[in-house]
A and B are shown apart, each in its own frame.
Chain A
Amino acid sequence: MKKLVLFVGFFWAIGITIKLFSGFDSNQMIFDEILIQPNFSSWLGRDDYGRDIFHRLIDGFLNSFEIILIVTFISSFVGVLIGVISGYFGGKLDQFIRYITTLFMAFPGILLAIAFAAILSPGKFNLIFALSIGGWVGYARLARAQTVLIKNLDFVKASETMGSSHKTIIINHILPSLKTPLIVEGTYAIAGLIIAEASLSFIGLGLQAPMASWGGMMRDSVRFLLVSPHYALFVGLSIMSLVYCINFFGDYFNHKWDIKNNED
């Protein structure tokens, strides 16, 4: 398994290096080579417009990862903020926030993202917004559970008796304890986001036409399944292997820090 992860990492590293140094244009079309099989000049073949599939995969990777990193940053920030406030102060506010999170959890999977992406016009900014809307809930629940756990420990109580302010306790005691579970949660969430983003692009709600996106490439490739199965296979394999590797890292962190799931 480690070998596979290394291989996939190596593959993308090569791809990005090529992108950095040669600065190829993934939209360059060669109409004589439409849907051509893999060969030496175009490693993974060409798509229905005669564009290099390998180049488009790398561009798609970079586009998706930019979006996913921003979404992860926004949703973890908002989620942790809401979760810590809700867990630390408790009371009516906590009750209210818990109702809100249950409400967001009533939408299965990417339905909420689909709803928002459908209504807002497609584009990078709206895609980030749509994915973040459902993304913060997981972080908020995790942060809340962890905060409630830490808040009642003796060292926090001691700090409280010594007269530390709420701000000091949250920054010095609660936030550091959130670090490891959040990294694990974040790693799994990134894997989920890759699939969510690709799914949105797959049904036409993600990045629009000339921009490369994995979901969009998947959708195009399915139409040519009969004539050029390699197109669909390469796109699918690259999504899958990346998701697999990220999940592998998630498992690794989880194992390393031995995090027990103690939500609610």
Chain B
Amino acid sequence: MKNNFPIIFFSSFFQVIGIFIISFLILHLLPGDPIQVMLGESASLSDQVKLRAELGLDRPIYKQIFNSFSQIMHGDFGNSILTGVPIKEQIVIAMKNTYILALMALCIAITFGITGGVVAAKYRGSFLDKIIINSSLFFISIPHFFLGPLLMLCLSIWLGWLPISGMESPLSIVLPALTLSLGMLAIIIKMTRNCMIEIVDSDTVRTARAKGMQEWSITINHVFRLVLIPLITIIGMQFGSLLSGAIITETLFSWNGLGMLLVNSIQMRDYPITQACIFVIAISYVLVNLFTEILYKIVDPRMRDI
């Protein structure tokens, strides 16, 4: 049996290195002198020299790369230019908030997506099926920055059920999580429904029925297991859009996560934070992809030999 886990790990490791180099080199793409851009034209020469030494920009580039790589491996992202606070603290808080939001959205999407898909497939062609399919078509093409205001308008302003933004009350998470999850939910519904319909008509299920298995047992042991395989791929792939959607959603709802930190740092021209955010978001994406690929092989025994 050929095992290709080393290849998967190697490719992820390569991606991590690549992400590091790209997010490192981005600072060198700044038109003109990065120090002057960050401090402004009027900064005094001594301040410029100090910041240059602090960021290590006065050393040759290969030394800078190695130096900041070993720093990041130790979890040290340097200090913020504006406030002087270590970036690590901010990143850790922001990461926690973003992951809570993303997990919440993922839970909503998976729970309701699979349920909706199974129901739609079971009652294929019925009125309920049509409602589910058409509303999921609507949610697939709605961008986050419109769905967010729309939900705000309906659930907070008109109905007054939920807080409009911020993260003071525990209910605050509902709106951003819904905004993030609805697109993914729609895709999961569509996927589950189509797979279910395909599998229910397949030979496997016909054989199981012929053996006299009970309907619920067929659904759980045969149909659901086969549906799970494409679902894992789709969920893993969609996680990327969840992360990039979080950038917009967090800005919209003032949710104190990685996306808002990123956008704020861009507006404040605090480039070390920008770098750190891009690095952390991309790394999470790579890790989720790696995890998906491993899970995929565990769930589908046919994939283990390839």
Show the binding face of A for B, using Cβ within 8 Å.
Answer: 99, 102-103, 106-112, 114-116, 118-121, 195, 198-199, 202-205, 215, 218-219, 221-222, 225-226, 229, 232-233, 235-237, 239-240, 243-244, 247
A229 to B152 Cα, complex, angstroms: 10
**B 135-154 binary contact with A (CB < 8 Å = 1; else 0):** 00000011111101110110
B145, A215: Cβ atoms under 8 Å? yes
Question: Which residue of B has the minimal Cβ distance to A231?
Answer: B149
- Which A-B residue pairs are the 7 nearest by beta carbons? A109-B244, A108-B240, A236-B146, A103-B18, A106-B15, A118-B266, A244-B141
B141, A115: Cβ atoms under 8 Å? no
Task: Check: B27 CB closer than 8 A to any chain A CB.
Answer: yes
23 chain-A/chain-B pairs, Cβ below 8 angstroms: A102-B11, A106-B15, A107-B278, A108-B282, A110-B244, A114-B266, A115-B23, A118-B274, A119-B30, A120-B29, A199-B144, A199-B247, A203-B248, A204-B267, A205-B266, A218-B149, A229-B157, A235-B146, A236-B143, A236-B145, A236-B149, A237-B146, A240-B142
Q: How many residues of B contact A (CB 8 A)?
A: 45
A195 to B241 Cα, complex, angstroms: 12
Knowing A109-B243, A199-B143, A229-B157, say if A115 contacts B11 (CB, 8 Å): no
Which of A106, A229, A232 lies in contact with B19, CB distance below 8 A? A106
A178 to B15 Cα, complex, angstroms: 29
Task: Check: B262 CB closer than 8 A to any chain A CB.
Answer: yes
| Contact residues in A for B278 (Cβ distance below 8 Å) | 107, 111, 114-115
| Contact residues in B for A114 (Cβ distance below 8 Å) | 247, 262, 266, 278
Task: Check: B131 CB closer than 8 A to any chain A CB.
Answer: no
A108 to B251 Cα, complex, angstroms: 17
B141, A240: Cβ atoms under 8 Å? yes
A239 to B14 Cα, complex, angstroms: 37
A99, B14: Cβ atoms under 8 Å? yes
B149, A107: Cβ atoms under 8 Å? no
**B 251-293 binary contact with A (CB < 8 Å = 1; else 0):** 1100000000011001100010010001001100110000000
Per DSSP, are chain B's interface residues mostly helix, strand or loop, or mixed? Answer: helix
| Contact residues in B for A235 (Cβ distance below 8 Å) | 146
Interface residues of B in 13-31 (CB under 8 A from A): 14-15, 18-19, 22-23, 26-27, 29-31
Task: Check: B176 CB closer than 8 A to any chain A CB.
Answer: no
Question: Which residue of B has the minimal Cβ distance to A229?
Answer: B153
Show the binding face of B for A, using Cβ within 8 Å.
Answer: 11, 14-15, 18-19, 22-23, 26-27, 29-31, 141-146, 148-150, 152-153, 157, 239-241, 243-245, 247-248, 251-252, 262-263, 266-267, 271, 274, 278, 281-282, 285-286
B26, A107: Cβ atoms under 8 Å? no
Question: Which residue of B has the minimal Cβ distance to A100?
Answer: B18
| Contact residues in B for A106 (Cβ distance below 8 Å) | 15, 18-19, 282, 285-286
| Contact residues in B for A233 (Cβ distance below 8 Å) | 150, 153
| Contact residues in B for A99 (Cβ distance below 8 Å) | 14
B143, A195: Cβ atoms under 8 Å? yes
B153, A111: Cβ atoms under 8 Å? no
| Contact residues in A for B239 (Cβ distance below 8 Å) | 108
